[in-house]
């Protein structure tokens, strides 16, 4: 149903002006309030005492709930319950988000009222709204939901609580518990919704890898080098990679144990890594199949540091370029491709010389392409182990390399293994 139809509905039910109802409705929906909740709240505002819906909808197993269900009654175990603050119509509104499970499956929920949900609680939610989010059904527990706590818990094949490793976190995860070392941390002043406010941002690390974070309400325990346990954090995308958000509802405590950051960082297939949509810390192994244009000796704009062509910056026009070294190498492992981007230091390694050497080589040849050509000769066709930050967006899959090392794997041995494999299958 379109917003217009919803407004029509409400206006005729409540006997008020449609345009007025519509603008209220629009307002709420713009602030991410689900349309059913928004209608409910407007019914209250315009004084319709009757609760919409009437009879309690039928009970459903979690696995059977579909985005087409308007309202359902469902019984399940609360796996996670994380508080978060959103703002609409100028007011802060605390919501609780998490996951609910029965023995058939798991579903995300959002509670718009404080029902006092905690992980491990078994609840029956009568008349819970269902909405579609990213193609999946999600439960909305609001004022029209009758919620009761049950004595007996069904056995659910899922872990209660939100314990997670950084490498497993994905955008949209809520109420997660992590144990991390603060690898980097800086205090910044931002222009927040309530004026200037201080936040902390940096990088967390655990055995599985690293992720950037923002701490919106600076916790004294979060300082560089410190190991902490954080409960009730959530994950949002920022600049193409997931970011851990530590809010005023998160709890942060010092941790006694040491954390060996990155000890278990997993090497992923290129295809698998790209499908995640972006990872802060990942390692892939693949062949360099080409070195793209814009590699080798390049010039950057002194103002914005972007790469310039023929002394022209797209934003700043005619500028005196600053010389730099860079490589954009296409890496392929048979499952997919990505572009590994090497900074000046890594480029010096693969070029086998410094920026001054490159400038001299270009001067002698009267062509700066010779630098990229020499890099091509040295790396194309070889296998590398690349670790860094992967972002996947409209510019493609780019892996900002922190390390770029020729793989120790003996390619001949791998070729032999491949041939044997092919023979077995033949
Ligand atoms: Zn510029």
Do 301 and 244 lie in one domain? The reply is no
| pLDDT band with cut points at 50, 70 and 90 for residue 424 | low
Provide the token pair at 19. 């345009």
Q: Could you tell me the distance, in angstroms and rounded to a whole number, from the CA of residue 322 to the centre of ligand 1?
A: 11
Question: Does some domain include residue 381?
Answer: yes
Q: Which residue has the higher pLDDT, 154 or 361?
A: 361
Do 403 and 319 lie in one domain? The reply is yes
Q: Could you tell me the distance, in angstroms and rounded to a whole number, from the CA of residue 334 to the centre of ligand 1?
A: 37
pTM of the model: 0.65
Sequence-distant (6+) residues with CB within 8 A of 271 are 333, 335, 336
Question: Does some domain include residue 124?
Answer: yes
Q: Which residue has the higher pLDDT, 34 or 363?
A: 363
Mean pLDDT of 12-18: 73
Q: Could you tell me the distance, in angstroms and rounded to a whole number, from the CA of residue 312 to the centre of ligand 1?
A: 8
Nearest to 152 by CA among 197, 174, 125, 122: 122
- pLDDT tens-digit series, residues 243-277: 999 999 999 999 999 998 887 777 899 999 999 88
Q: Could you tell me the distance, in angstroms and rounded to a whole number, from the CA of residue 309 to the centre of ligand 1?
A: 11
In the prediction, which pLDDT does 50 show? 44
Q: Could you tell me the distance, in angstroms and rounded to a whole number, from the CA of residue 302 to the centre of ligand 1?
A: 7
Q: Could you tell me the distance, in angstroms and rounded to a whole number, from the CA of residue 367 to the centre of ligand 1?
A: 23
Bridge partners, residue 368, by sequence? none
The mean-pLDDT minimum among 21-30, 41-50, 131-140, 364-373 falls in: 41-50
C-beta neighbour count of 352 within 10 angstroms: 10
**pLDDT surpassing 50 at residue 380:** yes
The mean-pLDDT minimum among 134-138, 158-162, 218-222, 260-264 falls in: 260-264
Mean pLDDT of 309-329: 94
Cα 131 to Cα 135: distance, rounded to the nearest angstrom: 10
In the prediction, which pLDDT does 45 show? 66
Q: Could you tell me the distance, in angstroms and rounded to a whole number, from the CA of residue 293 to the centre of ligand 1?
A: 19
Do 94 and 136 lie in one domain? The reply is yes
- Cα 308 off chain centre by: 31
In the prediction, which pLDDT does 34 show? 76
Question: Does some domain include residue 354?
Answer: yes
3-state SS class at 264: coil
Cα 382 to Cα 365: distance, rounded to the nearest angstrom: 26
Q: Could you tell me the distance, in angstroms and rounded to a whole number, from the CA of residue 389 to the centre of ligand 1?
A: 24
Q: Could you tell me the distance, in angstroms and rounded to a whole number, from the CA of residue 304 to the centre of ligand 1?
A: 4
Provide the token pair at 31. 């602030």
Do 215 and 315 lie in one domain? The reply is no
Question: Does some domain include residue 374?
Answer: yes
In the prediction, which pLDDT does 9 show? 77
In the prediction, which pLDDT does 49 show? 43
Question: Does some domain include residue 79?
Answer: yes
Mean pLDDT of 386-414: 84
3-state SS class at 190: strand
**pLDDT surpassing 70 at residue 92:** yes
Question: Is there a contact between 349 and 325 (Cβ–Cβ < 8 Å)?
Answer: no
**pLDDT surpassing 60 at residue 55:** no
Question: Does some domain include residue 320?
Answer: yes
Do 403 and 307 lie in one domain? The reply is yes
Do 89 and 211 lie in one domain? The reply is no
Mean pLDDT of 374-382: 97
Cα 174 to Cα 157: distance, rounded to the nearest angstrom: 19
> How does the average pLDDT of the chain come out, rounded?
88
Do 107 and 196 lie in one domain? The reply is no
Domains identified in the chain, total number = 4
Q: Could you tell me the distance, in angstroms and rounded to a whole number, from the CA of residue 239 to the centre of ligand 1?
A: 20
In the prediction, which pLDDT does 400 show? 95
- pLDDT tens-digit series, residues 275-302: 988 888 899 999 999 999 999 999 999 9
| pLDDT band with cut points at 50, 70 and 90 for residue 79 | very high
In the prediction, which pLDDT does 63 show? 94
In the prediction, which pLDDT does 111 show? 94
- pLDDT tens-digit series, residues 351-373: 999 999 999 999 999 999 999 99
For the chain, report the end-to-end CA distance as a whole number of angstroms: 55
Do 340 and 284 lie in one domain? The reply is yes
Q: Could you tell me the distance, in angstroms and rounded to a whole number, from the CA of residue 215 to the centre of ligand 1?
A: 32
- pLDDT tens-digit series, residues 195-246: 889 999 999 999 988 999 999 999 999 999 999 999 999 999 887 788 999 9
Which CATH number fits the domain that encloses residue 109? 2.40.50.140
Do 294 and 399 lie in one domain? The reply is yes
In the prediction, which pLDDT does 1 show? 63
| pLDDT band with cut points at 50, 70 and 90 for residue 413 | low
**pLDDT surpassing 70 at residue 411:** no
In the prediction, which pLDDT does 139 show? 95
Dihedral pair phi/psi, residue 209, rounded to 5°: 150, -155
Do 96 and 198 lie in one domain? The reply is no
Question: Does some domain include residue 102?
Answer: yes
In the prediction, which pLDDT does 48 show? 52
In the prediction, which pLDDT does 53 show? 45
Do 331 and 288 lie in one domain? The reply is yes
In the prediction, which pLDDT does 251 show? 93
Q: In terms of residue numbers, what domain contains 313?
A: 270-412
Of 98, 121, 149, which marks where a domain is finished? Answer: 149
Do 277 and 395 lie in one domain? The reply is yes
In the prediction, which pLDDT does 170 show? 85
Question: Does some domain include residue 264?
Answer: no
In the prediction, which pLDDT does 51 show? 44
Mean pLDDT of 86-106: 87
Q: Could you tell me the distance, in angstroms and rounded to a whole number, from the CA of residue 363 to the centre of ligand 1?
A: 25
Q: Could you tell me the distance, in angstroms and rounded to a whole number, from the CA of residue 351 to the centre of ligand 1?
A: 27
């Amino acid at each position: 149903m379109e917003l217009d139809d919803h407004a029509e509905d409400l206006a005729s039910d409540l006997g008020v002006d449609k345009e007025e109802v519509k603008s209220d409705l629009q307002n709420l929906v713009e602030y991410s309030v689900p349309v059913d909740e928004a209608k409910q709240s407007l019914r209250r505002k315009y004084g319709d005492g009757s609760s919409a819906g009437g009879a309690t909808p039928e009970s459903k197993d979690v696995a059977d709930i579909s985005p087409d269900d308007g309202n359902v009654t469902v019984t399940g175990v609360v796996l996670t319950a994380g508080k978060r603050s959103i703002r609409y119509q100028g007011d802060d509104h605390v919501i609780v988000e998490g996951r609910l499970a029965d023995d058939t499956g798991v579903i995300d929920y959002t509670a718009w009222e404080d029902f006092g949900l905690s992980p491990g609680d078994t609840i029956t939610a009568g008349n819970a709204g269902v909405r579609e989010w990213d193609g999946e059904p999600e439960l909305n527990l609001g004022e029209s939901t009758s919620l009761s706590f049950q004595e007996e818990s069904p056995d659910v094949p899922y872990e209660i609580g939100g314990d997670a490793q950084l490498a497993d976190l994905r955008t949209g995860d809520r109420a997660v518990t992590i144990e991390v070392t603060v690898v980097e941390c800086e205090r910044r002043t931002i222009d927040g919704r309530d004026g200037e406010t201080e936040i902390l941002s940096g990088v967390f690390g655990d055995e599985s890898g690293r992720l950037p974070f923002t701490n919106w309400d600076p916790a004294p325990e979060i300082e560089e080098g410190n190991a902490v346990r954080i409960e009730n954090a959530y994950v949002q995308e920022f600049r193409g990679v997931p970011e851990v958000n530590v809010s005023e509802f998160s709890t942060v405590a010092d941790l006694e144990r040491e954390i060996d950051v990155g000890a278990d960082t997993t090497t992923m297939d290129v295809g698998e890594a790209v499908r995640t949509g972006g990872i802060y810390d990942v390692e892939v192994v693949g062949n360099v199949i080409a070195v793209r244009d814009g590699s080798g000796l390049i010039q950057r704009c002194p103002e914005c540091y972007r790469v310039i062509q023929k002394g022209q910056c797209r934003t700043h026009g005619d500028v005196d370029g600053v010389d730099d070294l860079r490589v954009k190498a296409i890496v392929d492992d048979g499952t997919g491709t990505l572009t590994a981007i090497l900074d000046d230091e890594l480029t010096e390694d693969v070029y086998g010389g410094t920026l001054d050497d490159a400038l001299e080589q270009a001067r002698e040849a009267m062509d700066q392409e010779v630098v990229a050509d020499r890099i091509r000769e040295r790396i194309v066709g070889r296998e590398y182990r690349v670790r860094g930050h992967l972002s996947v967006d409209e510019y493609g899959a780019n892996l900002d390399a922190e390390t770029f090392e020729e793989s120790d794997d003996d390619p001949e041995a791998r070729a032999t293994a491949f041939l044997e494999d092919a023979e077995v299958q033949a």
